[in-house]
Structure 1
Amino acid sequence: MYLQRRNRITRRSAAVRALVAETVLTPNDFMVPLFIGEGENIKTEIASMPGYYRNSLDITIKEVKDLWSMGLKAVLLFVKADDQLKDNTGKEAWNPDGLMQRAIKEIKNAVPEMLVMTDVALDPYSQYGHDGIVEVDKGTILNDETVEALTLMSLSHAAAGADFIAPSDMMDGRIGAFRKALEESGFSDVGIMSYSAKYASCFYGPFRDALDSAPGFGDKKTYQMNYANRIEAINETLQDVTQGADIVMVKPAMAYLDIIREIKNAVTVPVSAYHVSGEYAMIKAAAARGWLDEEKAILESLTSIRRAGADLIATYFAKDAVKILSGL
């Protein structure tokens, strides 16, 4: 009597495991989120994200050059607006001389081939910390008025040289509005990476520390998705694709691997996933206490996201992953 199939044969050594691996990570899989603040020669560590920083633009340029030299080809930009620029219109978001617009221009001048993707939402510019314009007396977020503001924001990013706008606001109908405006304004080559399935998650906390963008009242559950829902994610994503999204995103990633797979099965455009700040912080905290091996946790986590179906991953571990993969 003998076993007709010995499954362990293809696991017996590192060489054979690598040969038959179904999922492989490379630098081409990663987008690097960058936090940018005003000033010069300022590097501020984010307390809830050990080892990650909000940098002034001059340091950001050096960082982008370093990323490119490592083989990383895409950055996702977020800016921290000064408090005096925040209001309930978000008008600083489309200031042609604003921090985001200057950052886009300087990064493209420094590393022209780097793909520059830009966050489109009003929360960094809102006195209330919400992604849209607030109807103050009711405490609600105005959808259509916000889309109009975000359209101006998107056009200003395109004019500055962004390769992709990345709307994270979750307002209804915004992808169609952005695509129409980009086409009519001569920016037909600017892409849209839509946060199509962005859930109202507790895992965003450290990110809000990085940009001082926590909501001043209530929460974001009237526009971000209920984490109990699956079919809703498919519906929203299909709508975004119909309206002109070039890439769709699921956010967060690790707690939503099932959603990534559902979206991957439903669409034919690239699928991205955001390995968010809370997921980063959990690994960092556990590793600092010796509860897990940080490098192994990084690779296993990112591989799980790719295995679930993500073509691209926005992750704060991008540099670490490239160093681990290259044996540095």
Structure 2
Amino acid sequence: MSQQAYIAQIGGVPVLVLKEGTQRAFGKEALRINIMVAKAVSEVMRTTLGPKGMDKMLIDSLGDITITNDGATILNEMDVQHPIGKLLVEIAKTQDDEVGDGTTTAVVLAGALLDEAEKLIEKNIHPTVIISGFKKGLDAAIQYLTKIAIPVDRDNIDVLKKVAATSMHGKISETVKDQFAELAARAVSMIKEQRGDRWIADLDNVQLVKKHGGSLLDTQLIQGVVIDKEVVHAAMPKKITNAKIALLDAPLEVEKPEIDAEIRIQDPTQIKAFLDEEENILRGYVDKLKSIGANVIFTTKGIDDIAQYYLAKAGIMAVRRVKRSDIE
């Protein structure tokens, strides 16, 4: 219902409550529209499920084409305008963030529940009564799922692989699904840890590094940390076993003075003494690192050319300008 809402005239002047052109729907009509929108979005998603599920081809305003059957991707690309449609997009996003799978199911289930709710509303059953019924249904569903659930041993890689492969279905090429499931299961089993009486796998401990040029089959799991940086000097060792790593948050360079300083030199030998002192400072840094037994150095700052030379001479591998997050 479209209308301009006015409060009774005060002193002959009408008072505008809602701005002009506001659309207003209420009662059964509003419920009907909301349910219709939700069912329309749900219908789009429904056909992607099952063995005969179809992919969707989405073309955006720039003409870019996306082909997918992943629920969250479809809803993101669809650019839904209606507020109820946006709510369903949020359902899919939340499901994707929390679980990583089941986005389509969540939206289709919401559509099916609203379809049933519509029939009950037509029988004059109040929405709050329907919601309390849904809550009882939820409790019953959780109870049943708990009853039929099979306990999984967290060290059983084969079962974890099956779980990973199921959630990858339709998101990745079927030819590499088994390999990726194996990598995912092994990665999670590496980072699992017990906190109190619960086992936790903190996914922030798994880093994904993307490289151009290879195929999906070139993907590998590395037990450690991958830092995508070049070694600073060609003469430094390229491989070190049993490394003792020094993590620095300071430059291996001669510090510049805080204020603008001017040094006046009368004698040419003073220049040599000045440069020698700079070299001695840098050599002192390297000697100190060598004395504690470090053979690999990661720093968030720079490394001077002279320091690089002495580090290479000492057989120490060094990497500069490493991201702070990697250091941490």
- TM-score normalized by the length of structure 2: 0.18
Using CA pairs below 8 Å that are at least 6 residues apart, which structure has the higher relative contact order?
Answer: 1
More strand as a share of residues: 1
- TM-score normalized by the length of structure 1: 0.18
Larger Cα-atom Rg: 2
